[in-house]
Amino acid sequence: QTHSPYVLDRTPSGSSAGSGAAVAASLCAVAVGTETNGSIVSPSSVNGLVGLKPTVGLVSRTGIIPISATQDTAGPMARTVRDAALLLGGLVGADPADAVTQAAAAPKQPQDYTRLLRPDALKGQKLGVEKSHLASQTAAGELLRQAVAVLKAQGATVVEVDVRTATAPIGEAEFDVLLYEFKDGVNKYLGHTNAPVKTLAEVIAFNKANAAKAMPFFQQEILEQAEKTDGLGAEKYKTALRKVVDTSRAALDAALKTDGGLVAIVGITTGPAACIDLVNGEYGTGPGFAGPAAMAGYPHLTVPMGNIHGLPIGISFVGGPYKEAEILSLGYAYEQATKHRQAPAFRAVVG
């Protein structure tokens, strides 16, 4: 179990938990995380980091164990926006082994994202803020209201938008998509490795045969659910995929067109880190904004927004496809105006 370097009885979130904890603890300068839904931005948020989930296709997924061809991506995790921008420049590019990157090669991307970072980038910009987060009567909601005040003080106009109402109900459909795509993707992945198991079915059988070591605490219900799916030609899969992609993109696109057009939408990335709990699990502790951008395949940047009892949380900047340069610049201006990140103190408990 990886622990949060801020408070050692707290989760570092995930699934890029090791990347987040290592960068936060200054064990490395930067790290590459991977995300299907939240796995870059959530551990970045709770570990006081800058994390960027790029537009799907901007960064190759070759070599990464797949969950979802629709949503998977790699992206930078760093202690500053500048470091994240620097790493992103080294990650982007077309890859013949990952077809989705060919489409991303069409929009011209900067060779060096750091050259576009400006401390006054918020001046004259128009942003949206997720209204359900702004109204949240939580400590995270109060931090967001303070952050919006900073955005305005830096010259931005901020208007309320509603993304959550449309996207919150499609979580079940997204889970169906992930089950179908995981089976398809992991079978292809294992087929090209030297691993003794070549299919998801063989992984499940191996775990059962070695249950004492492979599954000492948990079972493999989700693997078994995925194995029962009947291929990407199934009507259930195609219906769920259309629902997830169309709904999430429509919600974000509509919000970004508000009031003549917005450069980005902001919200609470996630709540503060929960206590590690092997028995009951670790559930979210407040509003979160990972889902819409993950399902749509749009870029999502999180930047430290403050802390709650010493537990960091981040503010999200979500933009349209291939708008990484724009949201990095906005995040940089916010970071420079606030300097919220504090190094971890490795405390045993909150208090």
Q: What is the reported pLDDT for 80?
A: 99
Confidence grade of residue 284 (pLDDT, cut at 50, 70, 90):
low
Q: What is the reported pLDDT for 123?
A: 99
Q: What is the reported pLDDT for 106?
A: 64
Look at residues 329, 337, 343 and name the one whose alpha carbon lies nearest to residue 153: 337
Residue 344 lies in a domain: no
Burial class (CB in 10 A: 0-12, 13-18, 19+), 314: buried
Q: What is the reported pLDDT for 219?
A: 94
Residue 350 lies in a domain: no
**Phi/psi at 347 (nearest 5 deg)?**
-75, 150
Q: What is the reported pLDDT for 279?
A: 75
Is 90 exceeded by the pLDDT of residue 282?
Answer: no
More confident site: 286 or 139: 139
Question: Looking at residues 165-170, what average pLDDT do you find?
Answer: 96
- Number of CB atoms found within 10 A of residue 168's CB: 12
Distance CA 173, CA 239 (A): 9
Q: Which residue segment(s) compose the domain that 191 sits in?
A: 17-338
Number of H helices, E strands in the chain: 14, 8
Query: Could you give the angle at which helices 139-153 and 324-338 cross, rounded to 10 degrees?
Result: 100
Look at residues 27, 72, 19 and name the one whose alpha carbon lies nearest to residue 50: 19
Is 90 exceeded by the pLDDT of residue 285?
Answer: no
Across 25-39, 88-102, 165-179, 278-292, least confident range: 278-292
Q: How far, rounded to the nearest angstrom, does the alpha carbon of residue 122 sit from its chain's CA centroid?
A: 23
Give per-residue pLDDT as tens, 335-349. Answer: 999 999 999 999 999
In DSSP notation, 147-159 reads HHHHHHHTT-EEE
**Phi/psi at 207 (nearest 5 deg)?**
-60, -40
Residue 4 lies in a domain: no
Residue with tokens 């951008």: 293
Question: Looking at residues 135-154, what average pLDDT do you find?
Answer: 98
Distances from the Cα of 143 to the Cα of 119, 267, 289, angstroms: 21, 10, 15
CATH of residue 43's domain is: 3.90.1300.10
Q: What is the reported pLDDT for 110?
A: 82
Give per-residue pLDDT as tens, 77-126. Answer: 999 999 999 999 999 999 999 999 988 766 678 889 999 999 999 999 99
Give per-residue pLDDT as tens, 13-62. Answer: 999 999 999 999 999 999 999 999 999 999 999 999 999 999 999 999 99
Residue 3 lies in a domain: no
Longest alpha-carbon distance in the chain: 62
Residue 345 lies in a domain: no
Residue 351 lies in a domain: no
Strands 126-130, 157-161: pairing is parallel
Is the distance from CB of 315 to CB of 302 less than 8 angstroms? yes
Residue 239 lies in a domain: yes
Residue 8 lies in a domain: no
Count the domains in the chain.
Answer: 1
Give per-residue pLDDT as tens, 300-314. Answer: 999 999 999 999 999
| Mean pLDDT score of the chain | 96
Is the distance from CB of 316 to CB of 268 less than 8 angstroms? yes
Across 4-13, 66-75, 272-281, least confident range: 272-281
Is 90 exceeded by the pLDDT of residue 225?
Answer: yes
More confident site: 274 or 264: 264
Q: What is the reported pLDDT for 249?
A: 98
Distance CA 146, CA 142 (A): 6
Give per-residue pLDDT as tens, 51-71. Answer: 999 999 999 999 999 999 999
